[in-house]
Amino acid sequence: MQTLGSNASSFNRADGRKRTVWPDAALPGVRTNFARRSLRVSDATDELSHRYVRVRHQTEALITPLGPEDMVVQSMPDASPAKWHLAHTTWFFEAFLLSIHSPGYRVFDPDYNFLFNSYYEALGPRLPRAQRGLLTRPSSIDVMAYRRYVDGHMRKLLQSGISAVTEDLVRLGLAHEEQHQELLLMDVLHLFSRSPTKPTYDKEWPVDAVGRGGRFKGMSGGPFELGATAASFAFDNECPRHTTWLQPFEISDRLVTNGEWLAFMADGGYARPELWLSDGWTLVQSEAWNSPLYWVQTPDGWSQMTLRGLRTVETDAPVTHVSYYEAAAYAHWASARLPTEAEWECAARAGLLEQVEEVAWQWTQSAYSAYPGFRPAENAAGEYNGKFMVGQVVLRGGASVTPAHHSRLTYRNFYRPEQRWMFSGVRLARDLNQSGESSELTAADSDFAVDVVAGLSAREKTLPPKYFYDAAGSELFEAIGQTPEYYPTRVETALLQQFASEIATGIAEGAVLVEFGSGASEKTRVILDAAPQIAVYVPIDVSEDALAKAAAALSRDYPKLPVVPVAEDFTAAIRLPAAAQGRVKIGFFPGSTIGNFTEAEALRFLRSVRQLLGDNCVLMIGADLVKDEATLVAAYNDVEGITARFNKNLLARINRELGGDFDLDAFDHLAIWNAELTRIEMHLVSRADQIVNAAKHTFAFKAGERLHTEDSHKFTTESFANLAARAGWSVSREWISAAPQFAIFSLAPQRSDSLLSTARRTRTMETKSIKVPGPNHPISIEPNPARVTVRVGGRIIADTRSALTLREGGYAAVQYIPQEDVDMTLLRRTDHHTYCPYKGECAYYSIPLGGDRSVNAVWTYEAPYAAVAAIKDHVAFYPDRVDAIEEQKESKKA
Ligand code: SAH
Ligand code: AVI
């Protein structure tokens, strides 16, 4: 992909996470209270020293394709020569760190403060910006010597052990240098674009990725928490996080393409004053603009100057290098508008957007100004932000030239509305009215419409269950979980709580938790609480409202945990966000949502998750088990009628979103058990012959005709393990509740070198089933009031008044005797072990005194499961492997 060496690869799209730059050498202040204080001092210093070296090398890697002449010329006042960037970023460390925090430091050259200060009044007079191209001296060699000199002193400073304030300044200096890495590329591109030979900076520079989506995504509006919290590094202009109000809106999931821009141009976009803001129209005329900045008309059509040289304009790629005026005119032409920065941040946090950071900064319609409560940082570096908060517009996201991991969803880039040499693009937004309808009717060609038309046109009418979950449907599902009949939510949550700490032991430090069909993310909390080592949470759900609400609530309650929601259909090809990369992945698919798939869908899903999560992953799946029909049917036919409302909400959603005219009272909710296919089926049954319109189509229903809306398959431990095995997974642990039985399976990828047949591969050697005692397998433990003694070889080896009597199912009662009342010196531990799914791992002892008869005569549960915790530190004896186990009832003392 790159010829700039490994350093430069942190610039482009590959991982989708990028970040930005300030308009020309701009330096925002930084807050000092971000949450990285848990690192030990030496770890923090090591990490910082390495980062310092990486970032400084990265800048130098960027100039390797440049010759000495390329480094000096200033192609316009907004751009700076590459040599100036190299020196200015170095000056930052000298002026803000070494001169203040390194006792005895002598500046490299006293003139450099004048030459390489960008904006800082507090640090004295400086070379006017437009004269940076006059600096033939100092030479590039001098500037590189300056870099080495400052790097040497910085190395010493970093190794000397630095204060938190100094550390913050170093991090700020590195963020500042990353901004200049982007500026350097912007400025080189501008310089080369002015050259008649149109030079190539890097012929391997990646091309901009084409977006997949192309849909508007709706958001319901309401209060929204905008801005950065104290939990991680952010610039002062991103703070404080504060509540703002959003009207309902929709936002395009991808950026405007070159092809769309060509249509705008062909429709006279640059020649129609009615589309333009007044200042923009003046500029279009005075500058004779008729295309984005780097477009060049050739006999073969439009080409575009890029870092790869002059290339044909790709119609599917996003348009870049347009000013705010052009973006606003385009939006006007497209019957849309630009999003506000709050709308952008809200949609990005909800995971609705593609091309967030990897192609171009996105113009918002928000003026760059202070958030309520904004306070500039109190150091000299804080001079920057406050004084630029006028006459500029906010851009959000990140660009192909932004260093990886530099930006964040709260990042506020800003430029003047006429500027366009930065990598700027366009994302559209539109108002929704209060009932959530678009100002433009786009719903008719949505996936939903297509699936509804196909499903209602089929001979046996059916609809995919994923469409249950609009905002109302997600809330109804939560309400179902509260009904007494719908046991799966309650039982699975209790099972998770009971085994949380055990589940947590299988989760690696720094792992990412990826949840499929996360809904309200309530069960997730049990795992997060038990496994604080989880470093990132990625909830995936089609229900945008549920996802946005859950992500906001989790961010509030787990402020240190990055929550990166993905609003996608998890049966489609999902890409995990960059924050998940390089981490061990823990998949979590609770709720028995896997039961809503057909067998083929479940296999496809499990196989694709196997690919998505990689080799070292764990996948935990909650699955409901087959049980008696009455319990099952009641769970899907609650007396209060909430499941019926959930089922009928599908019709309400069609009415709302696809202009349908379903009469909800003309259908009955039906839930039946299909024993042959081991599934609960939900249907809506037409009460009469009727005609229904939806999605611009007409459908006839006969009286009694069913619309099949959902299957909930139920499993046995065997059927589930078999399914998993066919998709490349082995069950390594399973936890099973008391009745009504529900299971959680922990799956591991099958080893590819396994020669075992599928049937044998369904369980790994270590598979452990964990069961909770209940009515089908009751266990009771009671103190035994009798004195209990055990005799072997004629000797009393145990004598207690504190025995516990354990009764289990149909087995004989067993006396568990506290070890302190047993002469343990007479026992010999053996390597015999057994496993009980209700009680846990069991270890054994022989009693040499008893001879052959007493081999493995004694057992103990050293870490018994919670339901039988009382027998810890007790041992029990096989009656036929000892002489006698005697109980003497003692009369109560008077
Ligand atoms: N995990 C939660 C919610 C289960 S409800 C729990 O256990 O209680 C099922 C969830 O899966 C809903 O939030 C629904 O929106 C989501 N879902 C259903 N089909 C989906 C699909 N194809 N892609 C993504 N999410 C889906
Ligand atoms: C999400 N899914 C597993 C639920 C189920 O049990 O099939 C959805 C549901 N349908 C009716 N009630 C609950």
Q: pLDDT tens, 364-382?
A: 999 999 999 998 877 656 6
Compute the average pLDDT of residues 119-137. 84
**pLDDT given at position 889:** 82
State which ligand 1 atom lies nearest to the alpha carbon of 547: 13
Strands 742-749 and 618-624: antiparallel
**pLDDT given at position 510:** 95
Beta strands in 509-580 (DSSP E): 512-516, 536-540
Residue among 543, 570, 593 whose CB has most ligand 1 atoms within 8 A, to mutate: 593
On the 0-12 / 13-18 / 19+ scale of CB atoms within 10 A, 625 is: buried
C-alpha of residue 446 to centroid of ligand 1, in Å: 20
Contacts of residue 715, defined as CB under 8 A and 6 or more positions apart, other chains included, come to: 595, 623, 624, 625, 626, 678, 723, 743
Q: Is pLDDT above 70 for 43? A: no
Q: From residue 247, how far is each of 31, 346, 393, 545, 547 by CA, in Å?
A: 30, 12, 21, 14, 18
- How many residues are recorded in the chain? 894
Contacts of residue 41, defined as CB under 8 A and 6 or more positions apart, other chains included, come to: 161
Instruction: Name the residue at shortest CA distance from atom 20 of ligand 1.
Output: 466
CA dihedral over 642, 543, 448, 224, signed as positive or negative = positive
Instruction: Name the residue at shortest CA distance from atom 6 of ligand 2.
Output: 712
For residue 593, the ligand closest to its alpha carbon is: 2
C-alpha of residue 539 to centroid of ligand 1, in Å: 10
C-alpha of residue 538 to centroid of ligand 1, in Å: 14
Q: How far apart are CA 515 and CA 621, in angstroms?
A: 10
519 — pLDDT class (breaks 50, 70, 90): very high
Q: Is 543 in the pocket of ligand 1 (CB under 6 A)?
A: yes
**Roughly how many angstroms between the first and final C-alpha of the chain, as a whole number?**
91
Mean pLDDT of the chain: 88
Q: Which residue is associated with the tokens 């080896």?
A: 797
> Which residue pairs from 831-837 have beta carbons closer than 8 angstroms and sit at least 24 positions apart in sequence?
832/856, 834/859, 835/768, 836/861, 837/736, 837/768, 837/769, 837/770, 837/771
Q: How far apart are CA 423 and CA 734, in angstroms?
A: 51
Q: Which of 253, 312, 329 has its CA nearest to residue 567?
A: 253
State which ligand 2 atom lies nearest to the alpha carbon of 593: 3
Residue among 466, 476, 480, 482 whose CB has most ligand 2 atoms within 8 A, to mutate: 480
State which ligand 1 atom lies nearest to the alpha carbon of 466: 19
Tokens encoding 695:
């999605």
Instruction: Name the residue at shortest CA distance from atom 14 of ligand 1.
Output: 517
**Which tens digits make up the pLDDT trace of 652-665?**
999 999 989 999 99
For residue 545, the ligand closest to its alpha carbon is: 1
Instruction: Name the residue at shortest CA distance from atom 3 of ligand 2.
Output: 593
Q: Is pLDDT above 90 for 244? A: yes
Find the Cα–Cα–Cα–Cα dihedral 380, 384, 387, 390, rounded to 10°: -170
Q: How far apart are CA 559 and CA 530, in angstroms?
A: 16
C-alpha of residue 679 to centroid of ligand 2, in Å: 11
- Which helix (DSSP H) or strand (DSSP E) does residue 471 occupy? helix 471-480
Q: Is the peptide bond before 879 cis (omega within 30 degrees of 0)?
A: no
Q: Is pLDDT above 60 for 477? A: yes
State which ligand 1 atom lies nearest to the alpha carbon of 518: 1
For residue 569, the ligand closest to its alpha carbon is: 1
Residue among 467, 477, 523 whose CB has most ligand 2 atoms within 8 A, to mutate: 477
Q: Which of 289, 354, 295, 320 has its CA nearest to residue 424?
A: 320
Q: From residue 79, how far is each of 75, 138, 425 by CA, in Å?
A: 6, 19, 19
Q: How far apart are CA 127 and CA 140, in angstroms?
A: 18
C-alpha of residue 540 to centroid of ligand 1, in Å: 8
**88 and 126 Cβ atoms separated by less than 8 Å:** no
**Using the 8-state DSSP alphabet, how is residue 593 labeled?**
G
Q: How far apart are CA 75 and CA 79, in angstroms?
A: 6
**pLDDT given at position 17:** 29
Compute the average pLDDT of residues 26-42. 36
**pLDDT given at position 557:** 94
